[in-house]
Structure 1
Amino acid sequence: MANIASDPGHGGHGGNSGNSGGTDGSGAAGVSGPASAMGPGIPFDNDATLDLARRVRAAMARESIDGAGTAAAGAPMSPEAYKDKLAAALADAVVGWLMADGRSAIPGLRAESTAPASPRPASERMPGNGGAASQPGDAGASPRGQPAAATAAAAGDGKGELSEAIGFLGNPGAPTAEGAAGIGKLGEMLRGWRKQRLLPDPDKEVSVEVAIGRDESLDAAFLELLAGRRRAVGIVRTRGMAYNGSYSNAWSGTCSLVAPNILLTNHHVLNSPDVAAVAEVAFDFEVSAQELASGRNTVPAPGRSYLLRPEQLFVTSPTDNGLDYTFVWIDDAAATGATPLSMERAAFAIESGEKAFIIHHPNGKPKRVSLDDTDVVSAHPDGPLIHYTTDTEPGSSGAPVLDRSGRLIALHHASRRDSERLRTPEGVAPEYVNEGIKLAAIALDLESRRAGEASAMIDMVLGEIYGSDTLTGFFGAAGRQVGAVQAGAARVAELYGATDQDLDVGFWNIAPFAGRYTELAGDAAARVVDLGLDLWALGGTSPAATTALVQAIESKFGLQLQSLPLPDGAPQAQQSGAVMWNPETVECRPQPWPEDVGALFRLRGEDFAGETQPAPGAGDIFLRQPALFQVRGRGGLAFNLVPFDLGAAAADRGRRNTAAYILSRAIQEMIEHHGASHDWLLGGGFDAESTNASLAAWAGKGYTPASAQDEAGAALSYLKCPGSGVGQVFLSPNLSRLYGPQDVFRVSREKSQADYLSRFGEHRPLLLRLSARGAGAAPDAHPGQEAAFNARIDAALRRARG
């Protein structure tokens, strides 16, 4: 009997979206050689025959008989008793097969009759719940027509126990939330993203519901995309101690190349470095196009094998209380000519009613693709999972799940009966339903893990995952803390809900957009929503352009943002600035500067004449008075926001330095005389180094100043006050020049910022996350001297008043 098990633990199902058999996750089906009730030497070349044989074996197991006419306890039965039990088992199996295939509807059929509970004797069982016997072409399988005994001898003894079924990570029948993570209308947001992805042309006269829910046709280019994607999908063959602690000589699963040397599959396929070290992967184990066109059904060669190097990279999450994924290093896989499947963070990856396509090696067979009956029946945007009816079998675990644009959206994980009675768009309740883990959830889990375990391997994987997750924003799980008792899917869901633990802010000069806002509003709206920030300070825009952007965000995604122009009352066509925020997560209130502070911003260059230090040229230091806002998040985090831009004056070193000192003096006056005790955040077009030096000059009372600048000259400065509720501050990777204490900022270098953002702004946006401080932490104090620069400004004020 063949001892190669496909995919230890996968509860796969076969045929017609689970409606024609396979297993339900309770056991593996072994059908080869003399032990088969169908007789020795019968090649199971089609799914229907194999399915019926499995049902016969399962029925025989339920009747407690084996092929030798003995009961389960080992006692021989009389010939008549054996015939009766065998006949009952055969009848039960045939009826179940006909019913599942839609050819009969006989009431009273036992639910478990569609899947084997224990198809093989204990000494021959494979680890996991889905370890089916190998098919022709599996590693260790006998060639067509070779005696099964030879196959068994080649494969080894295969001892091990069959574990319980792989459980689902979540409840596919859970009700859909109306809002989450600062998005009040999740449904509108989801439909907006799917239309953006699938129907980007606004002139198409097709509604989203028709295009996604009922139109079964695909763009012709999808065939080309799928042909390329399949080259990155392989079969894993390995052996050793399985995920459930039992031993097996061999099993197989599916995997995909997601970076030139990184492979992705399930934990229950590759559960340890030891198992990965003895594994082999083949990407070309498939029927050729020529053979398929000729109508011949020949078994292809096993394919060229590639070895895994877990000592270089091995990152896994367990099947129990985890997300059942494994990343592992693979040698020279790029030599196959395969383009790795891109991994993207996308909470709004797919919608119920769409299609989920899978490329896989079911039962260790040559590579196959499931294109029919592929309905997504559950896809909560605020959850880590999707559920679908796409055909899979044991051995499919670890396969990539693709949407109709060929994008990798999930990792196939398990199958089970549709106990929740989920329904397809046509109203049909499938017998089985599959579960996949969204790539966005895997990325979020990795980010959360890295916060507690510094790992170069996790960093390496995260460096290959692109985009933003809308619900968690650009920074994902960074800085978020969830209960230690949570694990797996529950942990990911809690991370999605932890929006009150941080505030995400962006500074962006969008002058190119403002000049073409009628044309670019839709695309700019998608970029802003995707970054998922709580608040934006925009420069180079106009009231009309800002209004167009806010309206596009609402019309496309259902997200209602609020905005204010800078300065208040600016002409519609005048380029100035704006503040835009999400009222679901943050309050933003404009504040007037007190008169004594406002006087500082009216100082001119000539007021500093006669100074021994370099004085600015004549004229205004600030072309307009900077704006001031009080910002407070739903979780209690608060700060004072000052967006401003020196414009052309930033090129004058004297004017730039003087402006920095004036701003620092203004903040000092606000803190000491006007009760502005919260943190301060400055952003826009100014010099970070001189601003940080001016802030540091008087930071002797427990204040911590830090600043950062990008290569294009845009900057931000942050003043952390005593008693601040902020712990870590995360920065986007373009903020590469840091000033001040090096422990204030953490640059998220693994995050990617798409180059297309430059289409809308003069530089990529400056992004930061203010993350809530943990209990017991306190801001650092950096002493300094304030007298020198205060004396200069006092003298300038006297001259101005004189």
Structure 2
Amino acid sequence: MTIISRSLVDPDFDDERESQESAARQRVNERTMPRGTNEVALSVDGGVVAANTADRIARRIDRLARYYVDGDTARVDPQRRPDLRAAMGRLRDLTDESGDVGRIVEAIINTCDFIGVRYLDAGVLAARSVGRVVISGGRGFGTGFLVTPQLMLTNHHVLPSIDVARQSAVEFDYQDDVNGRPLTPQRFDFDADRLYLADRDLDFALVALRATPQQVHRFGFNPLTDMQGTVVIGEFVTIVQHPRGDKKAIALRENRLVDVLDRYLHYAADTERGSSGSPVFNDQWEVVALHHASVRAPDRPDTGGVLNEGVRISQIIGWLRAQHYSTAQQDLVAPIIGQSASNTGSVPADPVRNTEAASSAVTTMIGPFRVTVTIDGSAPPIQKDR
């Protein structure tokens, strides 16, 4: 969550943080039995398939095939009906498995040996856009990350009002270099009067920077997508954060997704206060959630009795699409709300928008299930280096 200086506590900050923690705690408690069922399923071979719906697995298989075989997830013909049987065949060629769906999926997901150098290179790019949010001149700290060259995403309880955002800033490069020496942080104020969008229920705030794209270009950004198939129960996630407001750190991979709700993801990860607003990545460095709460979970002694909750990115995009904007605001949010099936890695170049889109459906058999999958496609809105 957000870390607040005890000497400068504002009751509004405490109220917002406690409200979000309380709501997350209730959801975690309500999901104890379903979560337990998921973890029992994950404890056996092929458990990833057993813990997820057939539709979710089908979408994930298709997306993984695009990433590992086609090279990325952007170059998709909007009119093409995805061939899930062919996708399974292509993934099978990348593993030593020749058995059922469960074994093939397990061989691709969560297998350290399968991740190549591309994972490290993409991770470096993704982490660059993550910064420390300095609240109201040092009253507290959170984490945020660029989602376009001009906009940063963090939690509502980090920047709960436009007035707070006006007095706050983000610091990039608050970290050590490869030799263990501290970099010089680069600080940018927020330009909340230009754009500040927030929703308390989804606990997010989207705010403009007082900087030109050229000034922040080297930090890149992490585009967002509401395309389904980015993560499944049992998959590992990675969180890039500023724990306790300290230097940038990574909770790397060994953080398993254990439950999927309509609006939220629940996962076991090493996070601390100050991590609010951190991006939650899958192994392809796509942002799948906005981290916002860590709560007690007595049924999880293996994680120190703590579970984490992140807001699903698809929910945030859905909220943004439902709003009305001025022309200037529309130009700022278009790279986010205009893409539904984009390639979503960290991008060190400016986005190129393309709003062409189409939908198609395909029915196939995954194990014993007949699955109908609707694919929302779009031409690639991003030109990227990763």
Same fold (TM over 0.5): yes
CA distance in 2 between counterparts of 1:364 and 1:442 reads 25
Q: Does the 8 A contact of 1:386 with 1:437 survive in 2?
A: yes
1:754 aligns with 379
Q: Which of residues 426, 434, 437 in structure 1 aligns to 2:311?
A: 437
1:126 aligns with 9
Count of paired positions = 312
- The structure whose RCO (Cα within 8 Å, separation 6+) is larger is 2
> What CA deviation, in whole Å up to 9, does each residue of 1:46-82 have, x standing for no partner?
xxxxxxxxxxxxxxxxxxxxxxxxxxxxxxxxxxxxx
CA distance in 1 between counterparts of 2:330 and 2:268 reads 32
Q: Are positions 1:366 and 2:275 aligned together?
A: no
1:221 aligns with 118
Residues 557 and 263 of structure 1: is their aligned pair in 2 closer, same or farther, counting only changes over 3 Å?
A: farther
Q: Once the 2 structures are TM-superposed, how far is the Cα of residue 463 of structure 1 from its aligned partner?
A: 3.9
> Match for 1:171: what amino acid?
R
2:147 aligns with 258
2:354 aligns with none
Residues 197 and 752 of structure 1: is their aligned pair in 2 closer, same or farther, counting only changes over 3 Å?
A: closer
Q: Are positions 1:308 and 2:190 aligned together?
A: yes
Q: Once the 2 structures are TM-superposed, how far is the Cα of residue 128 of structure 1 from its aligned partner?
A: 7.2
CA distance in 1 between counterparts of 2:368 and 2:319 reads 26
Q: Once the 2 structures are TM-superposed, how far is the Cα of residue 560 of structure 1 from its aligned partner?
A: 4.9
Structure with larger Rg: 1
Q: Does the 8 A contact of 1:350 with 1:379 survive in 2?
A: no
CA distance in 2 between counterparts of 1:347 and 1:403 reads 13
Residues 434 and 755 of structure 1: is their aligned pair in 2 closer, same or farther, counting only changes over 3 Å?
A: closer
Q: Once the 2 structures are TM-superposed, how far is the Cα of residue 275 of structure 1 from its aligned partner?
A: 1.2
1:772-787 alignment, distance < 5 Å: none
> Match for 1:7: what amino acid?
T
> Match for 1:360: what amino acid?
Q
Residues 267 and 554 of structure 1: is their aligned pair in 2 closer, same or farther, counting only changes over 3 Å?
A: same
Normalised to the residue count of structure 1, the TM-score between the two structures is 0.35
Residues 323 and 462 of structure 1: is their aligned pair in 2 closer, same or farther, counting only changes over 3 Å?
A: farther
Residues 558 and 444 of structure 1: is their aligned pair in 2 closer, same or farther, counting only changes over 3 Å?
A: farther
Q: Does the 8 A contact of 1:239 with 1:275 survive in 2?
A: yes
Residues 164 and 342 of structure 1: is their aligned pair in 2 closer, same or farther, counting only changes over 3 Å?
A: closer
Residues 171 and 209 of structure 1: is their aligned pair in 2 closer, same or farther, counting only changes over 3 Å?
A: farther
Q: Are positions 1:275 and 2:164 aligned together?
A: yes
CA distance in 2 between counterparts of 1:333 and 1:199 reads 33
CA distance in 2 between counterparts of 1:254 and 1:128 reads 20
Q: Does the 8 A contact of 2:240 with 2:249 survive in 1?
A: yes
Residues 304 and 216 of structure 1: is their aligned pair in 2 closer, same or farther, counting only changes over 3 Å?
A: same
1:289 aligns with 178
Residues 430 and 459 of structure 1: is their aligned pair in 2 closer, same or farther, counting only changes over 3 Å?
A: farther
Q: Are positions 1:231 and 2:92 aligned together?
A: no
1:646-795 alignment, distance < 5 Å: 753-754=378-379
> What CA deviation, in whole Å up to 9, does each residue of 1:109-156 have, x standing for no partner?
xxxxxxxxxxx7xxx473479x9xxxxxxxxxxxxxxxxxxxxxxxxx
CA distance in 1 between counterparts of 2:292 and 2:243 reads 13
- Structure 2's unaligned 5+ residue stretches are 38-50, 67-89, 98-102, 342-356, 382-386
> Match for 1:307: what amino acid?
D
CA distance in 2 between counterparts of 1:187 and 1:752 reads 22
Q: Does the 8 A contact of 1:446 with 1:462 survive in 2?
A: no
Residues 276 and 216 of structure 1: is their aligned pair in 2 closer, same or farther, counting only changes over 3 Å?
A: same
Residues 433 and 418 of structure 1: is their aligned pair in 2 closer, same or farther, counting only changes over 3 Å?
A: same
Residues 466 and 375 of structure 1: is their aligned pair in 2 closer, same or farther, counting only changes over 3 Å?
A: farther
CA distance in 2 between counterparts of 1:352 and 1:213 reads 11
- Structure 1's unaligned 5+ residue stretches are 1-5, 9-27, 31-119, 132-159, 178-184, 241-248, 292-297, 470-526, 534-549, 562-580, 583-750, 757-802
> What CA deviation, in whole Å up to 9, does each residue of 1:674-702 have, x standing for no partner?
xxxxxxxxxxxxxxxxxxxxxxxxxxxxx
Q: Secondary structure at the match of 1:224?
A: helix
> What CA deviation, in whole Å up to 9, does each residue of 1:326-345 have, x standing for no partner?
11111235524022101101
Q: Once the 2 structures are TM-superposed, how far is the Cα of residue 413 of structure 1 from its aligned partner?
A: 0.7
Q: Once the 2 structures are TM-superposed, how far is the Cα of residue 556 of structure 1 from its aligned partner?
A: 9.4
Q: Does the 8 A contact of 1:126 with 1:161 survive in 2?
A: no
Q: Once the 2 structures are TM-superposed, how far is the Cα of residue 276 of structure 1 from its aligned partner?
A: 1.2
Aligned CA RMSD, in angstroms, stands at 3.7
Q: Once the 2 structures are TM-superposed, how far is the Cα of residue 212 of structure 1 from its aligned partner?
A: 5.7
Q: Does the 8 A contact of 1:191 with 1:208 survive in 2?
A: no
Q: Secondary structure at the match of 2:179?
A: helix
Q: Are positions 1:412 and 2:291 aligned together?
A: yes
Q: Does the 8 A contact of 1:191 with 1:351 survive in 2?
A: yes
CA distance in 2 between counterparts of 1:234 and 1:333 reads 16
Q: Does the 8 A contact of 2:58 with 2:371 survive in 1?
A: no
> Match for 2:59: what amino acid?
W
2:215 aligns with 335
> What CA deviation, in whole Å up to 9, does each residue of 1:75-111 have, x standing for no partner?
xxxxxxxxxxxxxxxxxxxxxxxxxxxxxxxxxxxxx
- In the TM superposition, structure 1's runs of 4+ consecutive aligned residues that sit over 6 Å from their partners are 160-163
CA distance in 1 between counterparts of 2:124 and 2:157 reads 27
Q: Does the 8 A contact of 2:63 with 2:230 survive in 1?
A: no
CA distance in 2 between counterparts of 1:398 and 1:316 reads 13
Q: Which of residues 315, 320, 325 in structure 2 aligns to 1:446?
A: 320
Normalised to the residue count of structure 2, the TM-score between the two structures is 0.69
Q: Does the 8 A contact of 2:268 with 2:306 survive in 1?
A: yes
Q: Are positions 1:7 and 2:5 aligned together?
A: no
CA distance in 1 between counterparts of 2:226 and 2:312 reads 9
CA distance in 2 between counterparts of 1:442 and 1:466 reads 13
Q: Secondary structure at the match of 1:343?
A: coil
Q: Does the 8 A contact of 1:125 with 1:161 survive in 2?
A: no
Q: Once the 2 structures are TM-superposed, how far is the Cα of residue 555 of structure 1 from its aligned partner?
A: 4.9
Residues 279 and 304 of structure 1: is their aligned pair in 2 closer, same or farther, counting only changes over 3 Å?
A: same
CA distance in 1 between counterparts of 2:378 and 2:220 reads 22
Q: Does the 8 A contact of 2:55 with 2:371 survive in 1?
A: no
1:171 aligns with 27
Residues 215 and 430 of structure 1: is their aligned pair in 2 closer, same or farther, counting only changes over 3 Å?
A: farther
Q: Secondary structure at the match of 1:404?
A: coil
1:468 aligns with 340
Identity of aligned residues (%): 25
Q: Once the 2 structures are TM-superposed, how far is the Cα of residue 455 of structure 1 from its aligned partner?
A: 5.4
> Match for 2:152: what amino acid?
L
Q: Secondary structure at the match of 1:290?
A: coil
Residues 387 and 462 of structure 1: is their aligned pair in 2 closer, same or farther, counting only changes over 3 Å?
A: farther
1:194 aligns with 60
Residues 385 and 279 of structure 1: is their aligned pair in 2 closer, same or farther, counting only changes over 3 Å?
A: same
Q: Secondary structure at the match of 1:164?
A: helix
Q: Does the 8 A contact of 1:370 with 1:390 survive in 2?
A: yes
Q: Are positions 1:389 and 2:268 aligned together?
A: yes
Q: Once the 2 structures are TM-superposed, how far is the Cα of residue 215 of structure 1 from its aligned partner?
A: 2.4
> Match for 1:211: what amino acid?
A
Q: Secondary structure at the match of 1:405?
A: coil
CA distance in 1 between counterparts of 2:258 and 2:371 reads 29
2:94 aligns with 204
